[in-house]
Amino acid sequence: MSDPYPQPIVTIDVVLLTLKDGELHAAVALREREPQAGQWTLPGGFVHADEDQDALAAAVRILREKAGLESPYLEQLQTFANRHRDSRGWSVSIAHYALVPLAEVERSGDARVKWLAVDSIRTLPFDHLEILRTAVSRVRSKTLYSSLPVHLMPKTFTLSELQRVYEQLLGSSLDKRSFRRRIEELDVVEPAPAGRAAGQAHRPAQHYRIKRRAGRELAMAERNLGIRD
């Protein structure tokens, strides 16, 4: 390379979130090398120029390698780039955030990560606390306007369960009728084929699942989901 300027270090960090006991939890991984070896940090690593097609692919690889997980929802959060965030010099973290349903976390059972309630985390190495808080704030603001929280749900769920997840993320209760109207407008869930409900005296609540075409695309609401009709 002919450029005279020393190039910054480039890393990818991922804020991986799940909802557990009604609270957002983030994954932290034990860091193996210096700086900050032996500390719990956000899962992260260098871009592998030979194997990663792009930043998103690098984030997918890092989640798989460091947390043993694939996330149904992963996107770029923001890039943190300055001269003081890493003792090695001017450095760039292309930060991403990902949501994963709790059932997936439990199925994977990867012991290299631990899950901390985000509101209880007071300190993290580097600028990882700032990255974490930016991600949590992004998730909460997207919750107001989009279908994002469906990616925290198990394979099938009732609308009451979905509403509870929105409420837990927002920290406030929602009007049931307005909520259902907004979810209908978002058009991202569909009735799931009825499971067996043997022995139930009453008709069970309808279960829903994410529409396949919704995939990783978010549906955006015209109005704040908290607004009553």
Interaction site with a second copy (CB under 8 A): 1, 3, 5-10, 46-49, 52-55, 76, 78-79, 81-83, 88-90, 92, 94, 222-224, 227
Structure tokens at 172: 């406030």
- Between residues 81 and 194, which has the closer beta carbon with respect to a second copy? 81
CB of 87 to a second copy, least distance (A): 12
Structure tokens at 130: 């700032």
CB of 112 to a second copy, least distance (A): 21
CB of 202 to a second copy, least distance (A): 38
Structure tokens at 78: 């923001």
- Between residues 25 and 96, which has the closer beta carbon with respect to a second copy? 96
CB of 12 to a second copy, least distance (A): 9
3-class state of residue 114 by DSSP: strand
- Between residues 83 and 196, which has the closer beta carbon with respect to a second copy? 83
* DSSP sequence for 125-168: STTHHHHHHHHHHHHHHHHHHBSGGGGGS-SSB-HHHHHHHHHH
- Between residues 55 and 121, which has the closer beta carbon with respect to a second copy? 55
Backbone phi, then psi, for 163, in 5-degree steps?
-60, -40
Comparing CA positions, the residue from 45, 65, 64 lying closest to residue 55 is: 45
Spatial neighbors of 178 by CB under 8 A, at least 6 apart, are 225, 227, 228, 229
CB of 174 to a second copy, least distance (A): 15
CB of 159 to a second copy, least distance (A): 23
- Between residues 146 and 156, which has the closer beta carbon with respect to a second copy? 146
Q: What is the length of the chain? A: 229
* DSSP sequence for 79-92: EEEESSSSTTSSEE
